[in-house]
Amino acid sequence: MGRMSRENGSAGLPEYAERVLEVAELIPPGRVMTYGDVAEWLGAGGPRQVGRVMALYGGAVPWWRVVRADGALLPGHEQRALGHYRDEGTPLRAAGSSAARRLPRIDMARARWDGGAGDGADEGAHI
């Protein structure tokens, strides 16, 4: 996941990418934000821009906490993500019976984080 690790020097990252990655690091274990939530939090870009940043640079942050709005697991990374969700106690919905739905989905109603205080994250202002 992601081509650049933050340890390799984030100085070369575009400013927007750095801001997106900082938000991803704020999301508490067991909670998620959608790509659109992150863009709204930043007041810039949109879900596609956030998704692009996560695809290119997200490998060194908790990428599994930035998700699709429908709660589907990230294609190509389902098993890795599922392991993280189970380790962190992220609320999941049971898998369906169809071939396309053999994996659980994130229970967005319970797992979605609004960036508020009191659930494990700093109370700092938006980035």
Q: Is the per-residue pLDDT at 120 higher than 60?
A: no
pTM score > 0.85 for this model?
Answer: no
Check: CB of residue 65 under 8 Å from CB of residue 100: no
Instruction: Kindly report the CATH number assigned to the domain that includes residue 27.
Output: 1.10.10.10
For 39-48, how does the pLDDT look when each residue is reduced to its tens digit (9 = 90+)?
A: 999 999 999 9
- Is residue 45 assigned to a domain? yes
Domain count within the chain? 1
For 50-72, how does the pLDDT look when each residue is reduced to its tens digit (9 = 90+)?
A: 999 999 999 999 999 999 999 99
- Is residue 50 assigned to a domain? yes
- Is residue 117 assigned to a domain? no
Domain limits at 99?
14-111
- Is residue 89 assigned to a domain? yes
